[in-house]
Structure formats: C-alpha cells, structure tokens
C-alpha cells in the first residue's frame, strides 16, 4: 500500500520541471580489450534537473554505475564511449580532454560511493579529504580551508567539526563516515551529485539518516543521480526511475508509475521479488517450484509438536587482551518447532551470528545449553556430537568460503555424502550427487565445475544441495541471501521455502533484513546487544511490537518506504 502512496505524491511536483543541467543521449560503452568486445551499456539516454532526483535501479552488472561514471569521464582507460550528445552544465563534453574532465569533477559534479571505509583514503584525515576538492579547484586558499571544511562538516550533521577535521576515517562511526564522504562530495558546491549505492552496507537506522541528508541537499537545488539496487529506496526518494538490465534501460518513468504500473516483465519480476508482509506465502521468483519429494527421508515424521531446537539461557563473552571483554550473547533462550521457520533479526553486533555458531557447535557457550531433537547437543564432547552433526547444517552468507577451492561440485557433494553409511560406494555417491543437483535446480554440467566458476546464486544452490545431502533436520541460514541480488535472493528464498514445505525441515533464518525475515519466518526473535529483546509470532511482532527497540527498527524501515511526506496518515 505504501507503494501507491509514494506514486501519488510523486506525480504532484512533476508539473514544473526545471531546465536540464545534464543531457545524455544514446550513450554506448564497451570494453574492447576485455574478451570479445564486451558491450556494457547500450543506447541509454537521460537528463538531470536541479532539485530533482533521478534513480538508476538495477542488479549488479546491469551497467548503472558505469553509465553514471560516464558523466565524470571516469569509465576507464580501456573503455570505448560513444554517444550522440553529452552536455553537462552548459558545456559539450563529446570531445572532452582530461583537463576538461578534471575541471568538472568535484566542482561541477560531486561523487559519493558506497562504503566510506574504503572510499575515504585511510591514511588521510577527514579534513584533508573534504578539503581536497576545494583546494584542487582553487576555490579557497590554504588558510581558509579549515574553517570552510568545518562549516561543511557541520552542514552534513557532523558535530564537533574542529575535532573531526584532524581525525582519520577509522576513528568515525559508520554513519559519520558516510556523512563525511557526502561532505567531501558537496564541499566544492557542485550542482550535480552522483550517489552510487550511498546506503548499502549501512544499518537501517543509519540509512534513513543518510537519505535524509541527501534529501536536504536536493531541496536546496542539487540535481541528484541516485544509483541503487534497492527499489524501495529508489521509489521513496526519486522523482524519475530508470530500470537497467544488462546494459539497457528496460523501463523509465516517474517513481509512482514504475512501481504501480510496471510495463516491462523484468520490472514486474523485480517488484514481485521484494520480500515483505505482502509476499508471505507467495513465490517471489517466476521459476517453478522444486520437486523435492524424492528426497524426503522416510523417517522424517516431524510435526509431532516437539522442538527440534531448544536454546536455554546461552551466554558467551569474548575476551581480548587489549579491549574490555565483550558480552556477545547474554542469557538468550528460544525454541524452534519441527517444520517451522524462526527468524532472528538484529543489527550488526547484536550477537545473532554468535548464537548461530554456538548452535552449530563451532563455538562453546560460557553457560547455558543447546538441545537438538530434545537431546543434549552443546554440552556433548565433540566425539559424541560428531555422529549427529549431520542433523544441523549451515547455509552461510559466503558459500564460496565454505567450499574447498580445489574440489569440483561433484567432489564437494560426494564428500558430504560419504559421511552417510548408505553412500560408501562411489558410483552410488555420484548418482546421488547428480540427483541432488537436479533437485535444487542446477544442471549436470555444473557438477564438474569448481565453485569459483559458478555465479553467486548457483553457489548458494550447491551449498543447499550439499546441506540436504546429509539429511539434516535443521538448517541454519546465516545471512544466506544478504550478498545476493534481489532476483537471485528471490530464487533462493523460494528454494528454502520449497525445502521447508516438502521436506518438513526446520529453518533458523538469521538476517539483518526485516523484509526477508518477515517474508519467510513463522516466528521471530529480535536481538540487540546480545540480548533477546522480543520473541513471538511474526505477524504479532511486525504489526504490534511491544518493545521500543523493535518499534525503532520497524520505524526506520517504515520511513525508508515512506520517505516522502505522505499526504495520507499512517494507519
């Protein structure tokens, strides 16, 4: 419903569009040196206007970032750039030299990348980085620079600029760092700001702060080009949206139109792929469901009302010689029934991954206990736990790291199968491996590849196949879809749901992403600073959170999708 509201408000100010300050017509970019002439951007046209936001939306490799960089002449040395028109700030850049480009970079167009930790030089002070553009374009003298920078820092909401001026990026918190990066982007008062995934990798609450800051700049007349993979962010923040797919713009229109009346099948699929309350019980991807019934172990009765997992009063403190001991997990208790999915949400550092590692038996708890299938688990010595380890399997965020790089997919699956007495025989093992691959939607030819030759989604399927190979009862998915593009994330979430429905497995689903958790979980545990803040049915928690922290989290997400002041009041 929030999407509709966004659309209504987007149409309103569209009546008076100021004249364009950047025009790009039929932009084509290819990399002739990279293999067989890779064509990464095809016939893309767009315009930028003061005080308006244009968003490029697309998945990784769709060409959205390269297109934006063409505005700065920073596509790369070996790139071939062709276009019919390239006018920026009343100048023609069709045949621009390096000197021309340098004049516009920073002073005419500011550029903000994601992840300020790597986008700010770690060996330079914040003040130096913010002031660099200004000095490079000789807008201030060395003597004036300090007060100018402190002023800019204040404007982006960094308090105590005098002190921050001499600090290094690593001394700032994630939110302040991203603000400092934006400060550097607008320090020379450019009229255009390119923000390339400015909120990715930030916690929700900080995302909102950063977007609010960009919003303020826009209201002061800045033209903003926002690049994002996140349709929610784009829809609430942008006036116009261009949807990129494999180097082409497949759809364009006002934010409202694109979201509520998508014309292209790809946009439709993308929109459908966004998990949340509205997608509960539905498929996210257009692919057909898997047929896993063959895998169903005869013994898997499930559903007898018991708990597959019981976590009792877990506590874990990490000691370090240099820092204060950190309580990562603080008296955590919860349980998970057979055949259900329990989501654990929390921001980074909330202890959710440590809980997962203790459940998996990779970490010892200081006190408390984990029971699997009603029997002792965490208290067992490793040799006793080993024969039952197959019951609990991990699907991690980084499947590549969990595969031995020397082995083929076939060998990876075979090794896992080898732990079961039924598969001591190689021929049997191979046959089963091929069967597993097919069941998770991969093909036979993938069996002889090494994991690094597969795409992210394929790797995650292999990880799932390998986990299923040993007939587990509990899957622990630790940020299993966080590193994936929306459409691939949708496929993997569908696969997990198929597994659960058809095999009666229990899933412990850990994520920082509220939407994903809301989509897939039956019940939810909210964690903060090592403690369980709230625990209960997913619908109850998401519709009427009892604890202030949960409300805060939900509000932050809410304001992401209601960024524009909505004309209608919230329910």
Partner 1 sequence: MSRDNTNNAVTNRLSARPKRLSVAVILSVVFLVLIAIQVLFPEAIATHSPITIDPLAALQPPSREHWFGTDNLGRDLFSRVVHGSAYSVSIGFGATLIALAGGIVFGALAGFGGRWLDQALMRFNDVLMALPSILLALVVVALLGTGLVNTLWAIGIGLIPQFARLVRAEVLVVRNAGYVESAVGFGFSKTAVVCRHVIPNAIHPVFVLATISIGGSILAGSTLSFLKLGPQPPAPEWGLLLSEGRSVIEHAWWLGVFPGIAISLTVLSVTVVGKSLQKRYLQKES
Partner 2 sequence: MPLQSILVSLSRRVALGVVVLWFTVTLTFAFLQIVPGDPAALLFGGDEIPTEEQLEEVRRDWGLERPVHEQYLLYIERLVHGDLGRSYQQRTEVATLLYSGVWSTVILAVAGLVLAVVISVPLATLTAGSSTLLRRFAFVFELVTISMPSFWIGIILILVFSFTLNWFPIVALDNPLSLVLPAATIALGLVGQLSQVMRESIERALKEPFILTARSRGLSDGSVRWGHALKHSYIPAATITGTFAGNVLTGVVVTETVFGRPGLGTITVAAITTHDIPLVLGVVIVSAAFFVLVNILVDLSYGLVDKRIGSSV
Q: Which is nearer to partner 1, 60 or 313 (CB)?
A: 60
Q: What residues between 284 and 313 interact with partner 1 by CB under 8 A?
A: 287
Q: What is the DSSP pairing of strand 367-372 with strand 307-318? A: antiparallel
Q: Which is nearer to partner 2, 103 or 407 (CB)?
A: 103
The span of 307-315, 385-393, 498-506, 556-564 binding partner 1 (CB under 8 A) equals 385-393
- Out of partner 2, partner 1, none, what residue 360 binds, judged by CB under 5 to 8 A for its kind, is partner 1
Among 3, 6, 27, 109, binds partner 2 (CB under 8 A): 109
Strand partners, 536: 524
Distance from C-alpha of 301 to C-alpha of 320, rounded to nearest angstrom: 45
Q: Enumerate residues 6+ apart whose C-beta is below 8 A from 317.
A: 325, 326, 327, 328, 366
- Out of partner 2, partner 1, none, what residue 181 binds, judged by CB under 5 to 8 A for its kind, is partner 2
C-beta atoms surrounding 213 within 10 Å: 20
- Out of partner 2, partner 1, none, what residue 216 binds, judged by CB under 5 to 8 A for its kind, is none
Q: Which is nearer to partner 2, 180 or 481 (CB)?
A: 180
Q: Please count the helices (runs of H) and the strands (runs of E) in the chain.
A: 21, 21
Q: Which is nearer to partner 2, 118 or 455 (CB)?
A: 118
Residue 319 sits in the site that holds partner 1 (CB under 8 A): no
CA proximity to 161, closest of 202, 131, 134 = 131
348, with CB counted inside 10 A (0-12, 13-18, 19+), is: exposed
- Out of partner 1, partner 2, none, what residue 72 binds, judged by CB under 5 to 8 A for its kind, is partner 2
User: Coil, strand or helix: which one is 532?
Assistant: strand
User: Coil, strand or helix: which one is 283?
Assistant: coil
x/- track of binding to partner 2 for residues 129-158 (CB under 8 A): ---xx--xx---------------------
CA proximity to 234, closest of 10, 412, 51, 535 = 10
Q: How many residues of this chain interact with partner 1, rule: CB under 8 A?
A: 44
**302-335 burial, b for 16+ CB within 10 Å, e for fewer?**
beeeebbbbbbebbbeeeeeeeeeebbbbebebb
C-alpha pair distances (Å), 57 with each of 67, 235, 391, 455: 12, 10, 41, 21
Closest contact distance (angstroms) between CB of 466 and partner 1 is: 8
Q: Which is nearer to partner 1, 337 or 478 (CB)?
A: 478
User: Coil, strand or helix: which one is 226?
Assistant: strand
- Out of partner 2, partner 1, none, what residue 253 binds, judged by CB under 5 to 8 A for its kind, is none
Q: What residues between 44 and 103 interact with partner 2 by CB under 8 A?
A: 72, 74, 98, 102-103
Largest Cα–Cα separation, the chain: 79
Q: Which is nearer to partner 2, 145 or 243 (CB)?
A: 145
Distance from C-alpha of 339 to C-alpha of 337, rounded to nearest angstrom: 6
Distance from C-alpha of 74 to C-alpha of 83, rounded to nearest angstrom: 15
Q: Which is nearer to partner 1, 487 or 511 (CB)?
A: 487
Residue 61 sits in the site that holds partner 1 (CB under 8 A): yes
- Out of partner 1, partner 2, none, what residue 325 binds, judged by CB under 5 to 8 A for its kind, is none
- Out of partner 2, partner 1, none, what residue 57 binds, judged by CB under 5 to 8 A for its kind, is none
Residue 368 sits in the site that holds partner 1 (CB under 8 A): no
CA proximity to 93, closest of 191, 24, 30, 31 = 24
Q: Which is nearer to partner 2, 106 or 127 (CB)?
A: 106
CA proximity to 487, closest of 454, 460, 450, 449 = 460
Among 19, 35, 90, 122, binds partner 2 (CB under 8 A): 122
Binding site residues, partner 1, CB under 8 A:
34-35, 59-62, 246, 287, 360-362, 386-390, 392-394, 396, 398, 401-406, 415-416, 419, 441, 443, 452-458, 470, 485, 487-488, 491
Where does this chain bind partner 2 (CB under 8 A)? 72, 74, 98, 102-107, 109-111, 113, 115, 118-124, 132-133, 136-137, 168, 170-171, 181, 184, 188, 322
């Amino acid at each position: 419903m929030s999407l509709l509201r966004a659309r209504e408000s987007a149409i309103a100010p569209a009546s008076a569009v100021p004249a364009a300050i950047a025009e790009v017509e039929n932009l084509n970019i290819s990399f002739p040196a990279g293999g067989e002439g890779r064509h990464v951007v095809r016939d893309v046209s767009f315009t930028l206007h003061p005080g308006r936001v244009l968003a490029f939306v697309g998945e990784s490799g769709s060409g959205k970032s390269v297109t934006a960089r063409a505005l700065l002449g920073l596509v790369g040395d070996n790139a071939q750039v062709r276009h019919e028109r390239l006018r920026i700030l009343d100048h023609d850049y069709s045949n621009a030299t390096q000197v021309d480009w340098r004049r516009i970079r920073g002073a005419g167009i500011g550029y903000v990348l994601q992840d300020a930790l790597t986008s700010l030089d770690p060996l330079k002070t914040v003040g130096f980085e913010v002031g660099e553009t200004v000095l490079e374009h000789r807008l201030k003298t060395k003597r004036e620079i300090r007060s100018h920078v402190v002023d800019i820092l204040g404007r982006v909401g960094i308090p105590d600029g005098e002190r921050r001026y001499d600090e290094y990026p690593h001394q700032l918190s994630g939110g302040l760092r991203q603000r400092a990066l934006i400060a550097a982007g607008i320090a020379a008062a450019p009229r255009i700001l390119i923000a390339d995934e400015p909120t990715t990798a930030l916690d929700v609450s900080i995302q909102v702060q950063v977007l609010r800051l960009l919003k303020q700049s826009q209201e002061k007349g800045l033209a903003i080009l926002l690049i994002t993979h996140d349709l929610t962010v784009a829809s609430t923040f942008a006036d116009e949206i261009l949807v990129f797919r494999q180097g082409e713009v497949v759809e364009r229109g006002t934010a409202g139109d694109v979201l509520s009346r998508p014309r292209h099948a790809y946009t439709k699929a993308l929109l459908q792929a966004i998990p949340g309350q509205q997608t509960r019980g539905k498929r996210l991807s257009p692919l057909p469901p898997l047929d896993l019934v063959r895998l169903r172990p005869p013994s898997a009765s499930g559903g007898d009302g018991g708990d597959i997992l019981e976590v009792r009063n877990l506590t874990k403190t990490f000691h370090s010689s240099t820092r204060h001991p950190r309580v990562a997990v603080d008296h955590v208790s919860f349980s998970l029934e057979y055949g259900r999915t329990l989501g654990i949400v929390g921001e980074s550092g909330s202890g959710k991954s440590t809980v997962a590692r203790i459940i998996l038996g990779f970490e010892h708890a200081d006190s408390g206990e984990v029971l699997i299938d009603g029997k002792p688990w965490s208290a067992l010595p490793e040799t006793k736990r080993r024969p039952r380890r197959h019951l609990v399997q991990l699907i991690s965020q980084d499947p590549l790291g969990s595969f031995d790089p020397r082995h083929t997919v076939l060998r990876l699956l075979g090794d896992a199968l080898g732990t079961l007495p039924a598969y001591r025989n190689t021929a049997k093992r191979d046959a089963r491996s091929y069967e597993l691959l097919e069941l998770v939607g991969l093909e036979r030819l993938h069996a002889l590849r090494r994991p690094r030759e597969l795409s992210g989604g394929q790797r995650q399927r292999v990880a799932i196949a390998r986990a299923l190979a040993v007939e587990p009862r509990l899957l622990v998915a630790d940020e299993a879809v966080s590193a994936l593009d929306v459409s691939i994330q949708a496929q993997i979430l569908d696969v997990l749901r198929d597994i659960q429905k058809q095999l009666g497995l229990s899933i412990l689903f850990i994520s920082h992403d509220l939407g994903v958790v809301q989509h897939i979980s039956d019940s939810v545990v909210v964690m903060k600073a090592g403690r369980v803040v709230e625990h209960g049915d997913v619908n109850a928690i998401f519709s009427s959170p009892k604890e202030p922290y949960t409300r805060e989290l939900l509000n932050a997400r809410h304001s992401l999708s209601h960024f524009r002041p909505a004309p209608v009041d919230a329910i």
